[in-house]
Amino acid sequence: MERVAGILKNLPGRRARVGQGGAMPEITPFDRGFIGPLELKNRFVHSATCENMATEEGEVTDRLVERYRRLARGGVGLIITGHMYVQRPGKAHVLQTGIHDDRLLPGLARLVEAVHGEGGRIVFQISHAGRQTTRKVAGTRPVGPSSGRRDPLFLVKPRPMSEEDIRTAILAFREAARRAVEAGADGVQIHAAHGYLVNQFLSPFLNRRDDEWGGDDERRFRFLREIITAVKGELPPGRPLLVKLNTNDYTPGEGITPALAGKYAGWMRELGVDAVEVSCGGWFNCLETLRGQVPVREIVRTSPLWKKIPAWILMRLQVGKHDLVEGYNSAAAEVVRPHLGEGKLLLVGGLRTLSRMEEILARGQADFVSMCRPFIREPDLVEKFGTGRAVAASCDSCNRCIVAVTNGLPVKCYRGSRIPRG
């Protein structure tokens, strides 16, 4: 850890660039930065990544602790955990980490201690699956703001949430934030992207209600508004609040767009949100979320027998339609950014080369650069960048890691290897 800190400390800092009014500082990925009151040693962020490394009860395991220890040792400025479910009906994966019960606190504290022991900072991402789960995993029929059409992965027709369901979920987010603070986390991120429950309430396509919780943009935002207010009430000074937000839903009908995301981001900032991480997509078209290769053979091989033929047909039709363009959320980020004022913007989405990340920060398109899949393969990627051993991530976006996770397997790089059946 000391070696990495020394490397990063001695890297070149800001360079000058000329703009209106004279020279302005040019931010580099290795500059220190702030998210709210939290100071970070550089501008690299580990974006939330589902680990599938907890027990079936959501308890932290030694394997999970070691994963985060390695990430912190590798020099990344901020680690955002994989999404932690705030209540059992909101559980998305069998081996997902939980934050829904006080008995989980000792394990959650171990995660924090491992990261802090390596000089890192860690934010807990808290989430509710909503309709993106199964009865078997959630322990009940999945819920959502509305019923609506089935998505192609879970094939679920959710039960519309009652007023009591909604209030209970808001309380669950508040209690999850309390546990994050008690465990020692440096902050909290609310997951409002990728088709999970908060995203479902925000989306005109997924939220068909016409009551206090839907019908227009302001009422669709109410669920997140009340969650933000509840979570903020649990965060002491020094702990920032972040939100991960979709800028495009890629649903069959109109969902969130960059313009709508910008409106939501402005409202979040008024409520005191310190940073927004812009992303996109969900399980109606998960390949738009990920981009890159479509591992047809592995998807078909790991699918149940009754799904193999439809999976082959569907995936073959997707080949070549979702090629990875580095920084594919950057255009949407430019729409959102003016609404944030002094709030910070984190950009995730296909970032692979140090030069592209430098460009994004230098142009002011984002304040921090986030990565997910590259850190699965190289937890020490930031150290490699800092020492000159790498100028780009070796991840080629084969997306086998995603196939493995959706089959209940622990996250790791499966490039060039056969994915076991979950």
194-203 pLDDT per residue, tens = 999 999 999 9
Report the pLDDT value the prediction gives residue 229, as an integer from 0 to 100.
99
Whether 422 contacts 408, CB under 8 Å: yes
Token digits for 378?
A: 């190289």
Rounded CA-CA distance 3/26 in Å is: 26
214: phi then psi, degrees, rounded to nearest 5:
180, 165
Rounded CA-CA distance 121/105 in Å is: 18
CATH architecture of 2-406: Alpha-Beta Barrel (3.20)
Whether 46 contacts 80, CB under 8 Å: yes
Q: Where are the beta strands (DSSP E) in 318-374?
A: 344-348, 368-371
Whether 76 contacts 44, CB under 8 Å: yes
Q: Which residue has the tokens 């959706």?
A: 406
pLDDT at residue 369 tops 50: yes
Give 235-283 pLDDT, tens digit per residue. Answer: 999 999 999 999 998 888 889 999 999 999 999 999 999 999 999 988 7
Angle between helices 163-183 and 217-232 (to 10 degrees): 40
DSSP 258: H
Q: Where are the beta strands (DSSP E) in 122-236?
A: 122-127, 143-144, 159-160, 187-192
Residues 6+ apart with CB under 8 A from 342: none
User: With left for phi above 0 and alpha for psi between -120 and 50, is residue 155 left, alpha or beta?
Assistant: left
Rounded CA-CA distance 64/62 in Å is: 5
Whether 271 contacts 224, CB under 8 Å: no
CA-to-CA dists, residue 350 to 14, 45, 77, 321, 363, angstroms: 25, 13, 18, 15, 18
pLDDT at residue 14 tops 50: no
pLDDT at residue 374 tops 60: yes
**Angle subtended at Cα 399 by Cα 381 and Cα 141, rounded to the nearest 5 degrees:** 115
Report the pLDDT value the prediction gives residue 42, as an integer from 0 to 100.
98
Tell me the pLDDT of the chain averaged across its residues. 89
User: With left for phi above 0 and alpha for psi between -120 and 50, is residue 139 left, alpha or beta?
Assistant: left
SS3 244: strand
Listed residue (351, 280, 372) closest to 51, CA to CA = 372
Rg (CA), the chain: 20
pLDDT at residue 70 tops 70: yes
Mean pLDDT, range 107-133, rounded to an integer: 98
* Structure-model confidence comparison of residues 306 and 94, the more confident one: 94
Other residues' Cβ atoms within 10 Å of the Cβ of residue 360: 23
Instruction: Kindly state the percentage of the chain with pLDDT values over 70.
Output: 86
- pTM over the 0.95 mark: no
* Residue 2 buriedness (CB in 10 A; 0-12 / 13-18 / 19+): exposed
Report the pLDDT value the prediction gives residue 47, as an integer from 0 to 100.
98
